[in-house]
Amino acid sequence: MGKFWPLGRRGLRAVRTKKFKERNQDLLTTTSLRETRSMTEKIKPFLILFSAGFHVAAGAYGLALTSLIAPNFLPFYAISILSIIAGAQLLRGKRWGAVLALLLCPLMAVVSISTLHYSLYSPASEFKAELAALHLSLALYAALSILSPFLILSEWKEFK
């Protein structure tokens, strides 16, 4: 190879790789591929569990809120009941439950945002702690209903 490539074209890369392995041997041995997989397997059920818990809690909250605010409005009851069913099926790992949850998330976000908008701009006599709690819970409901589809889609392979 001459003067320019004393170790050959691949020899320099091999020396660099060997030096890297020597310097970082402790990093390479501490987290093996098997340990990394086990860590990600522990995270996956948490995301599904969080999303399923949110859907069940959101369904129960929706039923309670609908019965208090608009007891004759049947579509809100339907969305809440379907949300509870979707949450239960997410816990069981069913794909149709995940599809149902994905379809319900935009509806849940629109319902919570529109209820929050109506509550903020409706004439109220004075600001109360109950009204602030309602606004906070509706904002949290909207934020989690926007986040939930991303959690479900990130774990799509886990559903049967």
At 152, is the pLDDT very low, low, confident or very high (cuts 50, 70, 90)?
A: very high
Residue 119 has pLDDT above 70, yes or no: yes
Contact predicate 111/79, CB 8 Å:
yes
Residue 88 has pLDDT above 90, yes or no: yes
Contact predicate 138/112, CB 8 Å:
yes
Provide the pLDDT for residue 121. 86
Provide the pLDDT for residue 150. 94
| Among the listed residues 45, 59, 148, the one whose alpha carbon sits nearest the alpha carbon of residue 91 | 45
| pTM recorded for the entire structure | 0.70
- Residue 6 burial class via C-beta count within 10 angstroms: exposed 0-12, middle 13-18, buried 19 and up: exposed
Give the tokens for residue 62: 């929706």
Provide the pLDDT for residue 7. 53
H/E element, 127: none
- Which ranges of the chain would DSSP assign to H, the alpha helix? 11-23, 25-30, 33-69, 74-92, 95-121, 129-154
Q: What is the mean pLDDT of residues 80-98?
A: 94
Q: What is the mean pLDDT of residues 110-119?
A: 92
Provide the pLDDT for residue 33. 63
Sole residue written with tokens 């999303």: 51
Provide the pLDDT for residue 47. 87
Higher pLDDT, 126 or 30: 126
Contact predicate 22/15, CB 8 Å:
no
